[in-house]
């Protein structure tokens, strides 16, 4: 029987192939960034919150973006609309997001393994020494140096977030 390779497996293979140190942590299942960060014991600004967006450029021209921001910030849709030169940017339908990421919502890592999913990361997240993220599962997270993340994931970087309201 063939065993299906999970997103978590793919991330670990990628990090091991690059020979970068990382820490895999198993924990209680948690999707919301603040809950997962409390369980993992990381600072909220170190958490990489990843969401799949759809950017509409014309009547039939759509682009899918994996937008990644710090756990203490939220996506600035207007900034992404400007950056992507789109007329509309919003959350992709859950079914499409799961198809493109191979993950249930809440477990999406800041890596894209699909050619139709562009990776866009907020500049603020990269000010941390490490990032922490759900690794394609709600019960496993990875701690990774930011410099290694950037070198391996090769994201487009922009100012795409704003502070969470209190």
**Domain boundaries, given as residue ranges, for the chain:** 22-160
Spatial strand order of the sheet with 62-70 comes to 88-91, 48-56, 62-70, 117-122, 156-158
Q: Which residues pair with 144 in a beta bridge?
A: 22, 131
CA–CA distance from 28 to each of 8, 31, 106 (Å)?
16, 10, 13
Mean pLDDT over 89-108 rounds to 94
49-78 pLDDT tens trace: 999 999 998 778 899 999 999 999 999 999
15-34 pLDDT tens trace: 999 999 999 999 999 988 99
Q: Which option is the CATH number for 22-160: 3.40.50.720, 3.90.960.10, 3.40.640.10, 3.10.28.10? A: 3.90.960.10
CA distance 105 to 54: 15
């Amino acid at each position: 029987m063939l065993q299906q390779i999970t997103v978590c497996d793919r991330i670990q293979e990628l990090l091991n192939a690059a020979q970068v140190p990382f820490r895999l942590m198993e924990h209680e299942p948690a999707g919301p960034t603040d809950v997962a960060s409390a369980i993992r014991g990381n600072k909220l600004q170190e958490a990489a919150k990843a969401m799949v967006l759809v950017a509409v450029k014309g009547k039939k021209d759509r682009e899918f973006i994996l937008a990644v921001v710090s756990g203490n910030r939220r996506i600035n849709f207007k900034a992404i609309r400007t950056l992507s030169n789109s007329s509309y940017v919003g959350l992709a339908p859950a079914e499409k997001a799961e198809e493109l990421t191979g993950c249930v919502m809440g477990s999406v890592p800041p890596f894209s393994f699909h050619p139709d999913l562009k990776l866009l990361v907020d500049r603020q997240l990269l000010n941390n020494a490490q990032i922490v993220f759900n690794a394609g599962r709600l019960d496993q997270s990875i701690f990774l140096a930011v410099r290694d993340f950037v070198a391996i994931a090769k994201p487009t970087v922009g100012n795409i977030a704003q502070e969470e309201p209190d």
